[in-house]
Amino acid sequence: MRNGVFFSYKNEIIRLPVNPATIRVKEKGNNKTYQVLKLGEINILGNKSLTEVDFEVLLPGQIYPFVVTKNDFRLPNFYLSKFKEYEESKQPVRLIITGDYLDINMLVSIEIMEKEVRAGEEDDVYINIELKEYKPYSMDTFIPVVENGKVTKLYVQNSNTRQDTRPRTTEYVVQEGDDFYRVAKRLTGDFEKAKEVAAFNKMNVIDKLVPGQVVKWS
């Protein structure tokens, strides 16, 4: 399996030129503890909080032996401009991390990004980035609870993802700008199945598709 960190936004996938030495993934339960008469302490299990991911990575100013994008090498400013675009768009970006022990594919928002230039490495840039899982929602999925003229709670009325009942095709001819997420949406109605569609075609979800190429699904 190819190890790597990728960002996908507006049908463009970029790969970080160097794999981070450490990737921290934080998943917290939203549990609450109460004291109940006679029972003592009880733990009420709640829904899992949003996943958080953070890491430090080098954006090299030259091609070092450990650079994983030698065939498509870009200078630090390319990546910095992309991250700035993600932040200013106020839209989520898809984070893809592939590895033997870590497999992440989810929409995220950029919470914090710090950059650093170190003495003696003026051509290189180090960035610390903190990401938080993003779950799409729409306002009509929530029911407000009003008490004493104030909204005190919001309840989810139904799933924010409506099932697409349109007939599915088994083949799709790739168009300009397509990636496996868009193709998966076309073939299955669910962009989250991009990895499955890619694997079915004996490819990787990050592989580039060529206009006119036929992608199959069964």
Span 1-42, pLDDT tens digits: 467 899 988 878 899 999 998 899 888 766 665 555 555 565
Q: What is the DSSP letter of 38?
A: T
Mean residue pLDDT of the chain comes to: 80
In the CATH hierarchy, which fold is given to the domain comprising 4-133?
Elongation Factor Tu (Ef-tu); domain 3 (2.40.30)
Looking at residue 2, its pLDDT comes to 60
Looking at residue 17, its pLDDT comes to 94
Q: CB under 8 Å to 164, separation ≥6 — which residues? A: 189, 190
CATH 2.40.30 intervals, the chain:
4-133
Per-residue pLDDT tens digits for 163-199: 455 544 578 888 887 888 888 888 887 878 888 999 9
Per-residue pLDDT tens digits for 100-126: 777 888 899 999 999 999 888 889 999
CATH 3.10.350.10 intervals, the chain:
155-216
Looking at residue 151, its pLDDT comes to 60
Mean pLDDT, range 146-174, rounded to an integer: 59
SS3 136: coil
The CATH number of the structural domain formed by 155-216 is 3.10.350.10
Q: CB under 8 Å to 84, separation ≥6 — which residues? A: none
Cα 18 from Cα 173, distance rounded (Å): 33
Cα 50 from Cα 137, distance rounded (Å): 14
SS3 100: coil
Mean pLDDT, range 75-80, rounded to an integer: 94
Task: Identify the residue with better confidence: 194 or 152.
Answer: 194
- Which token pair is 176? 């300009």
- Which token pair is 171? 């083949």
pLDDT greater than 90 at residue 62: yes
Looking at residue 177, its pLDDT comes to 79
Cα 69 from Cα 156, distance rounded (Å): 43
